[in-house]
Amino acid sequence: MRLPQGIPVTEIAALINAEVIGHADTIVTGINEIHMVEKGDLTFVDHPKYYDKALHSHASVVLINTKDHPSRGKTLLYLEDPFSGYVSLVKKFRPFIPATAMVSDTAEIGEGTIIQPGAFIGNHVKIGSDCIIHSHVSINDHCIIGDRVIINSNAVIGGDAFYFKRRPSGFDKMVSCGRVVIGNDVEIGAGTTIDRGVSGDTCIGDGSKLDNLIQIGHDTIIGKHCLIASQAGIAGVTVIQDHVTIWGQVGIQKDLVIESGAEILAKSGVPKSLKGNTTYFGIPVREAREKMKEIALLKQLPGILAEITEKL
């Protein structure tokens, strides 16, 4: 999330009662979790396993719960509970603003776009030209929709990321401040849900077509001209490159890459990144021809066991 203007790190520290270690003249220009950080950003880390990742990232400021780890030239903000401090900053700089109308006065809607009765368009949403937004669609705050986009009934664009920190008392919610950005000539099926980024963007590329009842997780990037069938589930921080086809009820693990031209057949489970221009099938997924051979061999197993038994 970009801040409207740069803010001195000392001012940020005062907001959350953190201690500045290092360059006190640093200016913070954005707030992002670790997957999306850029120069000028503040990020947080609260587990030793990820200290090095945060301190070697592009972030300029790291909110952290140790003073003993090398800073790697970063400005540090020391706080015993960095997660809570980070969430406080998100709430400060992108607070939830209740809606006062079905279509917000701050929404920008392009020429020729049709908003059907019962659709909800949130604050600071931008919708391009010649779109059709069907009834009972929800497009939440700050989302961006391109030209000639069709969004079918009961789709939710920009729901909160599914991101929680486990505590002894339960789960603390990571408050989302990102967006959904949808390109041109995209179609979104009925009942499909696309979560906004935790702090960055969930993106759907030009010309991609999504069927009904699909779930797209936070900060996922879907490329151009992809085809995704009903009931597919794609976890957060996944990159799906251009011209990928994903058939019904495919489940894709978080934080991996599906390269261009890949095809994943129905009911497959994807636990790791996949090379492009290949067809895959199975749980866990394998190259489809090899998986089909394996299934054919398994079908022969009862007969083979019967023959062996007869010979004993």
Domain count, the chain: 2
In-domain check, residue 70: yes
Residues assigned a catalytic role: 218
Please check whether residue 80 lies inside any domain of the structure. yes
DSSP character at residue 140: -
Is residue 182 in some structural domain?
A: yes
> Among residues 36, 60, 93, which one ends one of the domains?
93
Please state, in angstroms and rounded to a whole number, the distance separating the CA atoms of residues 207 and 178: 22
pLDDT in tens, the chain (312 residues): 999 899 999 999 999 999 999 999 999 999 998 888 999 999 999 999 999 999 999 999 999 999 988 888 899 999 999 999 999 999 999 999 999 999 999 999 999 999 999 999 999 999 999 999 999 999 999 999 999 999 999 999 999 999 999 999 999 999 999 999 999 999 999 999 999 999 999 999 999 999 999 999 999 999 999 999 999 999 999 999 999 999 999 999 999 999 999 999 999 999 999 999 999 999 999 999 998 888 888 888 888 888 888 877
Q: What's the whole-model pTM score? A: 0.92
CATH classification of the domain holding 191? 2.160.10.10
Half-sphere exposure of 266 (CA within 13 A, CB side): 4
Contacts of 11 (CB under 8 A, 6+ apart): none
Q: Identify whether 296 is part of a domain.
A: no
The secondary structure of 73-138 as a DSSP string is T-EEEE-S-HHHHHHHHHHHHS-----SSSB-TT-EE-TT-EE-TT-EE-TT-EE-SS-EE-TT-E
Would residue 304 count as lying in a domain?
Answer: no
Asked if 83 and 207 sit in the same domain, the reply is no
Mark whether 145 and 259 lie in a shared domain.
yes
- Cα–Cα distance measured from residue 77 to residue 5, given in angstroms and rounded to the nearest whole number: 20
Same domain, 73 and 125: no
Q: Which two three-digit tokens encode residue 84?
A: 């809570």
What is the rounded CA–CA span in Å between residue 244 and residue 225? 7
53 domain residue, yes or no:
yes
Residues 120 and 88 grouped into a single domain: no
Q: Are residues 68 and 138 in the same domain?
A: no
Does residue 165 sit in the same domain as residue 269? yes
Could you tell me which of 24, 88, 16, 14 has the C-alpha nearest to residue 61?
A: 24
CATH of the domain at 45: 3.40.1390.10
Q: Who contacts 310 (Cβ-Cβ below 8 Å, separation ≥6)? A: none
Asked whether residue 194 falls in the same domain as residue 127, the answer is: yes
Nearest Cα residue to 150 out of 135, 171, 172: 135
Give me the domain span that covers residue 250: 108-288
**Residues 61 and 76: beta-carbon distance below 8 Å:** yes
Kindly state whether residue 208 falls inside one of the protein's structural domains: yes
Q: Which of 96, 94, 141 lies closest to 120 in space, CA to CA?
A: 141
Same-domain pairing of 142 and 271: yes
Question: Do 74 and 10 fall into the same domain?
Answer: yes
Question: Is residue 310 one of the residues assigned to a domain?
Answer: no
Same domain for 112 and 57, yes or no, is no
